[in-house]
Structure 1
Amino acid sequence: MKSILLKLGLLTTLSVGLVAGKASAEEMDWATKCLSMGDIKPNENPNFQQINCLLTNAALSKNIPPEVVKGIAEKESSGWNQFENGQAVTDGKGYGIMQVTDSDPDPERIKRDIIYNINQGVNILNEKYSWLEASKLPRIKDAGREMIENWYFPVMAYNGKVPVNSPIKRIDGSRNWNTYQDKVFNNIEVHSYLGYEQEHKILAHYPFKYDDFIYNTESQILKFKTPTPEYLLTGELHESVYFLKNGDFVKVTKEGALLRTQPNTSSPWTAQPLNKTFIFDGNFNYTTESPEQINSKNQFVWFHVTSTDGKSSGYIASAYIAKKKDFVAPIVTGVKNNAAYNKDVTITFDEGTALLNDVAFTKGHTIKKDGKYTLVVKDEEGNTTTIIFTIDKTKPATPSMNSVSDLSTTVTGKAEAGSTVKLSINNKYQKSTTAASSGIYKFTISKQKSGTTISVTATDKVGNVSAPKTLKVVDKTPPAIQSVNKVTSKSKTVTGSAEKYATVKIYRGSTIIGKGSVYSNGKFSVAIKTQKANTYLKVSVIDKAGNQNCRTIKVVK
């Protein structure tokens, strides 16, 4: 009780004759937060920024976005006026800044006490929101009190569920932008978001249908279809920044928004990039740095923020920040960072906008041209994914391969540096190796039969495969000579055994004295003239590959 009396005393000092002891504890809880901004005098409007403070704290006391309450006050009193020429402003039905009707329990106080007027207006609005929670008004699916757009129908109900407030014109089904609630929402866009010349372009739109509304021409009451519509909005919903908490991350919502050294529009500033992230320190201020500024018509407030790296801090208008909710960068599919591809690639991403090599890129597009690419995808929260990739569909040059014989135990040659060289024998893969920076490659193999097929291919780092280089194993083995039979001075043939089908030549010195072939049974018989005893003869056997083997014999008696 003591604390309430203390508050009451303070407010009485502040507003003699206005509250006069009638202020409720509810009013005191929020109104005393604006005590330091000036005295409230009978039949006079408080300074503008003090009204800003009163509207803000009254809204927060009921968990209502202050932007909504300020938009209603602007619509109802054209500049947040409780009094005009010492009398409560009225439209003939309602009174004061919130145009509360004279059916209020204390109609005289509604007229003379701005704090009571605001409090009653906020209570009425809060009651209308309870209708939404009870499904008596349409709502946004899964949206809460903190979302400004979810107050569209409670704002309508504040003024009245009447045909003139139907967002769809009955006569032709077109959109009616002249409803009470649309005018309030336009006030929010203009004053809370500084969206001058952006009428109906900031807050998300409802997908209204003609049959969502039922018109009772007799009672002039606007009703809603059954069940009460629950809307899914495709546009981004706007969460009131006034619900931010100390330590919350916020993002800049306008390119070039000004970060100022003081909470006013005349202090030094630095421009900030769109989506830059700051940390809110838990305090917001009104424009009250000087007697001139305390009557500033700014309906926004100033949030004190610090950059995430701690290098900059200052005040930024509430119109240009929003809570940063998404810390997950866009997910890109179709390409991976630092990857290379040997085919066309089709790139998609789950959110945001993209630049490919600094040119606007549309998701789902296919990249076909060889080259190096940098893809930058940024979402609405400023989270960024950067992917660097290469497309290379050019095949490596055909490798070279040195001759391989049936005596060889290696396969050597040159290929594209760094490529993977694959070895196949008789079309069967054997092994692979990497070509050196010089291009040289080498395989160790077992000896292969002549005529065996040896082939190599080069595969580059992207997977492009060269044309194969193919060679046959060359026969380099001298033909076998199993035997040469004894030759006498009377012999007219030289006989023996050697490799089938080989050519046999008989030499005396360098002179050929006989020539023949080895039969299919491996035997040969070459005719010669008789030779003198002790003459040396050379028997030369030459296979089809040109390999030669020789044996020397001596003619005996």
Structure 2
Amino acid sequence: MKSFLLKFGLITAITVSLFNGKASAETNTTWTSKCGDASKVKSPSLQQINCLLTYAAINADIPPEVVKTVAWRESGWKQSKLSSDGGIGIMQITNQPRYDQKRLKTDIAYNIQAGVEILNEKYSWKQTDGTYTLPRIKDANRHTIENWYFPIMAYNGIKRVNSPIIKTQGTNYGKINTAAYQEIVLNLLEMQSYLRDEDGPNILAKFPFTTSDFDYSPDSDEDIVFKVPLYTINEGLHESPYFMKKGDLAYVTVDKVKLRPDSSTLKKELGTLNKYTTLTIYDEFKFDIGNDHNQFVWFKVKSPDGKIGFIPSAYLNPMVTGVANGAFYNKDVKIHVNEGVATLNGTRINNDYLISKVGSYTLVVKSKVANTTTIKFMIDKTKPTTPTMSTVSDQSTTVTGTAEAGSTVKLYINGKFQKSTTAASNKSYKFTVSKQKSGSTVSVTATDKAGNVSATKSLKVLDKTPPALPVVNKVTSKSKTVTGSAEKNASVKVYRGSTLIGQSSVNSSGKFSVSIKVQKANTYLKVYVIDKSGNKSVRTIKVVK
């Protein structure tokens, strides 16, 4: 990664807001564990590396095709690679002192995580006014591969060498800069993830670039200034199939795709599938059984005639994007139907249809090969009612209350998330906690299935801890004061039986003096200390002669 620094104000804002100046590439065991011990193997196989790159990308909500191809362009998937310009490891991390330089060399998962974080930063770059620094595609989401064109470019540097358009005067002026880093990466992506022939037609959609879209001097090393913040590309965008889950629907993108009995090409096929055949995703994708350089994965699918087998992700597209079966949404939903005729609640819709109204919906898609698919979902924009919470004291070891049944209740202490639980059918919830200091803030929110979040319910932790017993000096039958030490700023009351005979306060040094009338010898007095929260402690003393 030839990482060129941006102008000071932007890079500072990114570093502070995302990382607070600290390395954050601690690997998430949730994704590394899916690859067994691959991250600990000195020389992992190609498919083990494929696994690590794939799940690191999914964990970061980035199309795996993008991460895998960037890694291939940077190092050929070689963790041992050290470049003359300082690039380290599989992702060629360069000029990044926030990361542990030794681990970047020795820990492939750590190196991948660092590269994924850096790539993710590029997607999220914003100016001081909150607008995105890099151009985007209108209505495209994070799973749209083409929408990563400029983040891929920025991973290498937003310098003139990576200008999408050639602006140097000559016969190539105004043409696509095929030598730009992002163009090379996306060309590789088409060949490795979509299995395009090297000389075959492009698969990914192209941006409608013009020379006026970019401002830079051909002789300068200044960053490129992007003049067009949003591009409109109406057709041909590709959503990564890796985010499909069991039960989702996909269709075959080319003719005569072989349905295999396992995730390899080693055994005879079960049959062939024609273009537009609708398939049901039967299980999570698998990696190639062999150790080939294949970067795609294998999806286990069910065909219309009931056959169950595997086909490469290279030949699959999600049939419907923007909505999933059985899902709940708390915002407007835009449905894209990749092929076939679609109706929504019985009404014919076009391929890109926006739904804003709250309600229940049934989407029916009839594919070009006459397979029919039904997807049911709901839009719910109503926030749950604010949860209740029982009083919490510094003696409490539980936090209890009520919230919308089935909602996810999240617990925060002093603004920091602690844990979550699900509200029972009777609306009750319960958290086990350690004792908290009085004055701390305990808060809960409720999140419903659609993702709507309630208002926050907050309580201060009450002080229910009695003050320490007071130390009382000797009181005699001639004493006119009761003195001693106790909790600072507490109140002190002296009783004979049920009769109050004197009261005062403990000073800031922890001392007190209570004036009383002379008491007879052998009289018992009770000295109460009462803190500001009303908690009491009492010591009984005997008046001596």
Indicate yes or no: 2:295 matched with 1:296: no
Report 1:479-494 matches (<5 A): none
1:254 deviates by: 1.2
Alignment match, 1:140: 137
- The letter of the residue matching 1:59 is A
**Counterparts of 1:186 and 1:307, CA distance in 2:** 31
Alignment match, 2:107: 113
1:203 deviates by: 0.5
Quick one: structure 1 residues 301 and 214, their matched pair in 2 at CA, closer, same or farther if it must change by over 3 Å? same
Give CA deviations for 1:268-299 in whole Å, capped at 9, x if unaligned.
Answer: 212210110000023110113xxxx1x22111
1:60 deviates by: 0.6
- The letter of the residue matching 2:231 is Y
SS in 2 for 1:296: coil
Indicate yes or no: 2:108 matched with 1:104: no
Indicate yes or no: 2:122 matched with 1:125: no
- The letter of the residue matching 1:101 is T
1:224 deviates by: 3.2
- The letter of the residue matching 1:53 is C
Whether the 8 Å contact between 1:141 and 1:232 is mirrored in structure 2 is yes
Whether the 8 Å contact between 1:104 and 1:110 is mirrored in structure 2 is no
SS in 2 for 1:322: strand
Whether the 8 Å contact between 2:25 and 2:113 is mirrored in structure 1 is no
**Counterparts of 2:84 and 2:368, CA distance in 1:** 46
Report 1:44-63 matches (<5 A): 45-63=43-61
Whether the 8 Å contact between 1:190 and 1:198 is mirrored in structure 2 is no
Whether the 8 Å contact between 2:118 and 2:155 is mirrored in structure 1 is yes
**Counterparts of 2:97 and 2:151, CA distance in 1:** 19
**Counterparts of 1:230 and 1:80, CA distance in 2:** 33
Indicate yes or no: 2:198 matched with 1:169: no
Give CA deviations for 1:384-432 in whole Å, capped at 9, x if unaligned.
Answer: 69xxxxxxxxxxxxxxxxxxxxxxxxxxxxxxxxxxxxxxxxxxxxxxx
Alignment match, 2:497: none
Alignment match, 1:30: 31
Alignment match, 2:268: 268
- The letter of the residue matching 1:138 is P
**Counterparts of 2:154 and 2:175, CA distance in 1:** 21
1:113 deviates by: 1.4
1:99 deviates by: 0.5
Give CA deviations for 1:287-319 in whole Å, capped at 9, x if unaligned.
Answer: 13xxxx1x221111100000244x211000010
TM-score w.r.t. the length of structure 1 is 0.51
**Counterparts of 2:255 and 2:235, CA distance in 1:** 20
SS in 2 for 1:68: helix
Q: Which has the larger radius of gyration?
A: 1
SS in 2 for 1:221: coil
Indicate yes or no: 2:302 matched with 1:316: no
Whether the 8 Å contact between 2:104 and 2:110 is mirrored in structure 1 is yes
Give CA deviations for 1:435-490 in whole Å, capped at 9, x if unaligned.
Answer: xxxxxxxxxxxxxxxxxxxxxxxxxxxxxxxxxxxxxxxxxxxxxxxxxxxxxxxx
**Counterparts of 1:274 and 1:297, CA distance in 2:** 26
Whether the 8 Å contact between 1:93 and 1:101 is mirrored in structure 2 is yes
- The letter of the residue matching 2:308 is S
SS in 1 for 2:71: helix
1:219 deviates by: 5.2
Alignment match, 2:246: 246
- The letter of the residue matching 1:303 is F
**Counterparts of 1:217 and 1:38, CA distance in 2:** 43
Alignment match, 1:93: 86
**Counterparts of 1:191 and 1:216, CA distance in 2:** 35
Q: How many residue pairs align between the two structures?
A: 305
Report 1:178-197 matches (<5 A): 178-197=179-198
Give CA deviations for 1:131-189 in whole Å, capped at 9, x if unaligned.
Answer: 27942101100100000000000000000000010110002111111110011101110
Quick one: structure 1 residues 23 and 35, their matched pair in 2 at CA, closer, same or farther if it must change by over 3 Å? farther
Tell me which moved more, 91-100 or 296-305: 91-100
1:234 deviates by: 4.0
Q: Percent identity?
A: 43
Whether the 8 Å contact between 2:146 and 2:205 is mirrored in structure 1 is yes
Whether the 8 Å contact between 2:91 and 2:111 is mirrored in structure 1 is yes
Indicate yes or no: 2:383 matched with 1:382: no
SS in 2 for 1:300: coil
Quick one: structure 1 residues 273 and 65, their matched pair in 2 at CA, closer, same or farther if it must change by over 3 Å? same
Whether the 8 Å contact between 1:330 and 1:383 is mirrored in structure 2 is no
**Counterparts of 1:215 and 1:200, CA distance in 2:** 31
**Counterparts of 2:157 and 2:366, CA distance in 1:** 36
SS in 1 for 2:265: coil
Alignment match, 2:62: 64
Alignment match, 1:284: 285
**Counterparts of 2:161 and 2:39, CA distance in 1:** 40
1:204 deviates by: 0.5
Alignment match, 2:78: 81
Structure 2: runs of 5+ lacking an equivalent: 1-22, 321-336, 343-349, 352-364, 372-545
SS in 1 for 2:216: strand
Tell me which moved more, 128-137 or 295-304: 128-137
- The letter of the residue matching 2:111 is N
SS in 1 for 2:28: helix
- The letter of the residue matching 1:61 is N
Whether the 8 Å contact between 1:166 and 1:222 is mirrored in structure 2 is no
Quick one: structure 1 residues 187 and 150, their matched pair in 2 at CA, closer, same or farther if it must change by over 3 Å? same
1:191 deviates by: 0.5
Report 1:526-541 matches (<5 A): none
Give CA deviations for 1:44-74 in whole Å, capped at 9, x if unaligned.
Answer: x310000000000010110000000011011
Alignment match, 1:236: 236
- The letter of the residue matching 2:138 is K
Quick one: structure 1 residues 265 and 36, their matched pair in 2 at CA, closer, same or farther if it must change by over 3 Å? farther
SS in 1 for 2:282: strand
1:24 deviates by: 6.6
**Counterparts of 2:279 and 2:150, CA distance in 1:** 33
Quick one: structure 1 residues 164 and 24, their matched pair in 2 at CA, closer, same or farther if it must change by over 3 Å? closer
Quick one: structure 1 residues 91 and 382, their matched pair in 2 at CA, closer, same or farther if it must change by over 3 Å? farther
Quick one: structure 1 residues 129 and 24, their matched pair in 2 at CA, closer, same or farther if it must change by over 3 Å? closer
Structure 1: runs of 5+ lacking an equivalent: 1-21, 332-349, 352-378, 386-557
Tell me which moved more, 213-222 or 298-307: 213-222
SS in 2 for 1:95: coil
**Counterparts of 2:295 and 2:53, CA distance in 1:** 10
**Counterparts of 1:312 and 1:159, CA distance in 2:** 45
**Counterparts of 2:25 and 2:85, CA distance in 1:** 27
1:222 deviates by: 3.6
Q: CA RMSD in A?
A: 2.8
- The letter of the residue matching 2:116 is V
1:218 deviates by: 6.8
Quick one: structure 1 residues 185 and 64, their matched pair in 2 at CA, closer, same or farther if it must change by over 3 Å? same
Give CA deviations for 1:58-92 in whole Å, capped at 9, x if unaligned.
Answer: 10110000000011011101x21111xxxx43242
